[in-house]
């Protein structure tokens, strides 16, 4: 009878020890995978990107553009002023970026 009690106590102690080991291992694994963004990293918030885009698009010299492009740029800039940069489609953003001299690739 005492043999069964000692075996049961060892089994319970092993299960408890295994549980503590697994919790510590899992916490270390999650901490190792966690990526903390550094203050001077490449990441910029959406608000900052919108502000940079507005500033860049606002510096366009509209008087040097072809009349067709001028009308389109004025329409798009008006839309950005009224509704924000999110209102532009990706194609319209690309059009304005190409006119500002931003090179891709």
Q: What is the pLDDT of residue 105?
A: 46
Can you read off the two tokens belonging to residue 11?
Answer: 């089994």
Indicate whether 32 and 51 sit together in one domain: no
Number of domains in the chain: 2
Q: What is the pLDDT of residue 93?
A: 92
Residue 104 domain flag: no
Residue 24 domain flag: yes
Indicate whether 57 and 29 sit together in one domain: no
Residue 94 domain flag: yes
Cα 2 to Cα 10: distance, rounded to the nearest angstrom: 12
| Rounded percentage of the chain residues whose pLDDT exceeds 70 | 89
Indicate whether 55 and 31 sit together in one domain: no
Residue-number span of the structural domain to which 69 is assigned: 46-99
Residue 41 domain flag: no
Residue 55 domain flag: yes
Cα 14 to Cα 17: distance, rounded to the nearest angstrom: 5
């Amino acid at each position: 009878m005492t043999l069964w009690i000692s075996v049961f106590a060892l089994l319970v102690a092993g299960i408890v020890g295994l549980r503590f080991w697994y919790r510590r291992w899992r916490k270390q694994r999650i901490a190792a995978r966690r990526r903390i963004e550094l203050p001077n990293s490449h990441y910029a918030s959406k608000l900052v990107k919108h502000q940079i885009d507005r500033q860049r698009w606002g510096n366009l010299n509209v008087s040097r553009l072809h009349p067709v492009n001028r009308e389109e740029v004025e329409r798009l800039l008006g839309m950005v002023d009224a509704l924000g940069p999110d209102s532009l489609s990706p194609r319209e953003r690309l059009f304005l970026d190409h006119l500002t001299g931003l090179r891709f690739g």
